[in-house]
Amino acid sequence: VIPISALKQHGLEVLKEKIEEAVVKYTGKQTMTLKVQLNSPQLAWLYKEATVQAVDDVGDDCTANVKVIISQAAYGRYRKLFQ
């Protein structure tokens, strides 16, 4: 049981996290953070093949940490293409 209040916006983040965990668990996908070269097609590929949740610039203008939800098959293709 997760107590929430949409009116007071209490518990919404916890609910969101629990829903995300359930979706990831039951779809066989995984959440991970990948270091991406911004001057390559990596980020565009991830937007096409995975669910990009956050892009955090690491401060060097060339790379970013990208949080994604991705299937095992898509992650295998990503590794084959970019690592």
Name the CA radius of gyration of the chain, rounded. 16
pLDDT tens per residue across span 33-81 = 999 999 999 999 999 999 999 999 888 889 999 999 999 999 999 999 9
pLDDT for the residue numbered 61:
80
Smallest Cα–Cα separation from 67: which of 39, 83, 38, 43?
A: 43
- Token readout for 44 is 């565009």
Give the domain ranges of the chain.
Answer: 28-82
pLDDT tens per residue across span 23-45 = 888 888 999 999 999 999 999 99
- Sequence letter at residue 9: Q
